[in-house]
Amino acid sequence: MPRPISTDRLVLRPFLTTDAQAVAAQVGPLETARWLTRVPHPYSTENGRDFIARMAEEPLVYAVTLSEELIGCVSITDELGYWIGADWRGRGYAKEAARALVTRYFEGAEEGLLSGHVLGNGASRQILLGLGFEDRALCQTPSAALGRDVPVQKMHLSRDAWTRLS
């Protein structure tokens, strides 16, 4: 189970089974799900339970909480991913959570880190660029929410680039 991470405003903690409804409420709206290639729409509490069960043994998957309220997710499985519920966007929470998790990642990893964003998601692109990620390749990826392929800009963060920025 991952160790919690505290930032100035947030606590990143392991997901709890009781988070399923909050996960569904935050990631379920199409305005959020459309930017996340793996998230179906509609998204139910049962989908939230399945997600939490699948992620239970992953060492770098966190619920993002503000004053104990779940507002998003940040994770590194095969790549860095994150989402913040619509009510909390535009306040720097995604960047704060991602920076904290990337710091944790590079405490124990030498290899670089992959991420990416669906084209048109300028906020996510700015977060990744601010963390030092660089463009690698443009590809088409199936979107579970939209039911079609979407263009995704794949990006990479080297340990050297991270060290220079942090």
Phi, psi at 73, each rounded to 5°: -145, 145
Task: Give the rounded percent of residues in the chain with a pLDDT score beyond 70.
Answer: 99
Band (pLDDT 50/70/90 cuts) for residue 166 is confident
Question: What is the spatial distance between Cα 10 and Cα 91, in angstroms, rounded to a whole number?
Answer: 12
How many angstroms separate the CA atoms of 81 and 102, rounded?
11
Per-residue pLDDT reduced to its tens digit, 8-23: 999 999 999 999 999 9
Residue 2 reports pLDDT greater than 80: no
* pLDDT of residue 122 exceeding 80: yes
Higher local confidence (pLDDT), 1 or 163: 163
- Whether the Cβ atoms of residue 117 and residue 131 lie closer than 8 Å to each other: no
pLDDT digits (tens, 9 = 90+) for 44-77: 999 999 999 999 999 999 999 999 999 999 999 9
How many CA atoms within 13 Å lie on the side-chain side of 5? Answer: 23
Q: Note the pTM of the prediction, 2 decimals.
A: 0.96
With respect to CATH, is domain 5-165 assigned 3.40.630.30?
yes
What is the average pLDDT across 88-115?
A: 96
pLDDT, average across residues 110-129? 97
Out of 16-20, 101-105, 107-111, 146-150, which region has the weakest mean confidence (pLDDT)?
Answer: 107-111
pLDDT above 90 covers a percentage of the chain that reads 96
